[in-house]
Structure 1
């Protein structure tokens, strides 16, 4: 049974009762603003602060309730560290005259608000110059879709002022939240491993900035191989959380095609920790859109309720879906029932959602609501 911490009111009443019960001779009652009352209230306040401090100490004493630097210390004991925010990177293209280029270090404005710095001199061909660039600030806000507006912050000779994002800016991630970090720390204590188990590969992948979910398939590409599927739900929210790049192995592994983009970032990070022999291939799950039709809503067929249904289904897929994972009917029935609609009928789907190919991951497709 947990210890019940006394409230400040209870401590005040206890202190006054101690006075009245003989703590001070010849005192049978006290006035509200008497010196004795003020002193007992002050002592009760000090005791309440002490209880609070002891309560805080107890929380920091175990990893499942520790916070801030104390949680970081618990994680460090297992080699788990808070994921820092990262900056997104991509490339931009501008029309040019002749062979002019954009030099490295040039500031580019993306989408009219975010700034990026070119990391190398641009390459010019056929009247266009393309330059790699990285956002000046960290965070998921830097993930910009291909085709977005790009503007030179100051003129460059022979280069048109406005251009476009040639390849999407990806890889930008916000600093890891305390809840997400605590979940990884607890996983490390529950699965001590470190020898190349499936849980180890999952943990190594999820330790990469931006990665929120990972699944491991032993021997997925043949004996001795390990396939890791990853999702970046926050960093790549504009792409449904799916990695932006091509599947493959680390640039250090010559036995398989080298990955690019997000997959390469994860593969190179895992390479530093994995055992020497397995071939590790990092892949993006294949989105398998599943359409939903909700009928018989009657007067509750409103935009607000449709938004609630969509949110409930998205949460269900986030919690339960994965590459090769079958989702059963009771899952979406429970998700929609929790909204509290007076009446409804789920017309489609009318059976389990089964992945159709290897690596396929069910996601929400089109949602249709009918009265």
Structure 2
């Protein structure tokens, strides 16, 4: 059975009892605020700190409870490393009235984010286009196509306001301990890399921002491996679906190159995959599933509606996959866990089957009825 760590109160009582029961000859009771009482409390406090330190050490001794740099050390033994924050990149176009140039290092505010030009502008007619990178790494640097951009300081001959012409992609926050731990435990459970489906999933999920991945062997013909990815946090505004076009790595001569998020993943897998494999990275196709939850009775409140929606979203994230099937018992179990007195899912009334190999069921609208 697990060791029951004594609380600070337990330790204080134990020290006081030890003193009173013969720890110091002639002492049968302790007055509060006496010297012996104060010393007893100090000793109990020090013992409590020692127990805390030992507790912390025990957690770092195994990968499933280790944290911070100790967790990273366990991962390094399996060549699994924490995903560092990544910087988003994209392009912005400005209208110019002459052969004005936007130099490298120019600061621009785009979509509320400060970005810096990484090269001199490319001029075509009355338009100057500049490649940019977010000034700080992180998911906040991802900027949608068409967002308004403004020069931080005016430049002669350049209109102050421009437009994002290539969406800023690739920005991701540093990986949290929980996500890193999942990848480390999977590596310890799996063993060495040999080009299995689990290896492709691991290579994809090692890319900053990628939270889920699936593999379809021979998905585009003999010798191919199709990898589907989701970026639930980085692309939360798009339902977690990657932004870009499907394809292979930039160095792959046998297939068209991907763009955006798909290209980042394809390039990462390219150096890891078995040498003959043609890896194609794709975004799943969202297949919205609308729900009608009735017979709620008095449980048809705004709080319960929010809880039902959250439970269904969590179910789809855990169980949905490209080409997969969602069965009624999945959503019934998810809703039963909320603790509702009664409910009835009238739609859908049968298993939800993906309409194609790349389609993935996701939550659509949810209607409620008493």
TM-score by length of 2: 0.94
Q: Decide whether the 8 Å contact of 1:116 with 1:134 is kept in 2.
A: yes
Q: Decide whether the 8 Å contact of 1:99 with 1:125 is kept in 2.
A: no
Offset at residue 342 of structure 1 (A): 4.2
Aligned residue in 2 for 1:294? 293
Q: Decide whether the 8 Å contact of 1:286 with 1:359 is kept in 2.
A: yes
Single out whichever of 348-357 and 220-229 deviates more from structure 2: 220-229
Aligned residue in 2 for 1:154? 153
Aligned residue in 2 for 1:202? 201
What is the rounded CA distance, in whole Å, between the counterparts of 2:99 and 2:286 in structure 1?
42
1:93 pairs with 2:93: yes
Offset at residue 299 of structure 1 (A): 5.6
Aligned residue in 2 for 1:255? 254
Deviations 1:172-222 (A, max 9, x none): 111111111111111111112222121111111111101111111222222
What is the rounded CA distance, in whole Å, between the counterparts of 1:94 and 1:298 in structure 2?
57
Aligned residue in 1 for 2:328? 329
User: Which structure 2 residues correspond to residues 178-189 of structure 1 after superposition, within 5 A?
Assistant: 178-189=177-188
Single out whichever of 164-173 and 258-267 deviates more from structure 2: 164-173
User: Which structure 2 residues correspond to residues 354-369 of structure 1 after superposition, within 5 A?
Assistant: 354-369=353-368
What is the rounded CA distance, in whole Å, between the counterparts of 1:131 and 1:232 in structure 2?
27
Q: Decide whether the 8 Å contact of 1:193 with 1:199 is kept in 2.
A: no
Secondary structure of residue in 2 paired with 1:124: strand
Aligned residue in 1 for 2:67? 67
Q: Decide whether the 8 Å contact of 1:95 with 1:160 is kept in 2.
A: yes
Aligned residue in 2 for 1:171? 170
User: Which structure 2 residues correspond to residues 222-241 of structure 1 after superposition, within 5 A?
Assistant: 222-241=221-240
What is the rounded CA distance, in whole Å, between the counterparts of 2:60 and 2:361 in structure 1?
39
Aligned residue in 1 for 2:279? 280
Secondary structure of residue in 2 paired with 1:161: strand
Q: What residue ranges of structure 1 are gaps of 5+ in the alignment?
A: none
Offset at residue 55 of structure 1 (A): 1.1
Aligned residue in 2 for 1:45? 45
Offset at residue 26 of structure 1 (A): 2.3
Offset at residue 77 of structure 1 (A): 0.9
Secondary structure of residue in 2 paired with 1:268: helix
RMSD: 1.8
Paired residues, what number?
370
Single out whichever of 337-346 and 49-58 deviates more from structure 2: 337-346
Offset at residue 23 of structure 1 (A): 1.9
Offset at residue 305 of structure 1 (A): 3.7
1:315 pairs with 2:318: no
Deviations 1:270-320 (A, max 9, x none): 122222121111111111111112234456545444333222211111111
Offset at residue 346 of structure 1 (A): 1.8
1:133 pairs with 2:111: no
Secondary structure of residue in 2 paired with 1:357: coil
Offset at residue 248 of structure 1 (A): 1.3
Deviations 1:14-44 (A, max 9, x none): 2222222222222222222222222222222
Offset at residue 105 of structure 1 (A): 2.2
Offset at residue 161 of structure 1 (A): 0.8
Q: Decide whether the 8 Å contact of 1:92 with 1:164 is kept in 2.
A: yes
Aligned residue in 1 for 2:107? 107
What is the rounded CA distance, in whole Å, between the counterparts of 2:31 and 2:64 in structure 1?
46
Offset at residue 71 of structure 1 (A): 0.6
Aligned residue in 2 for 1:142? 141
Aligned residue in 2 for 1:81? 81
Single out whichever of 23-32 and 320-329 deviates more from structure 2: 23-32
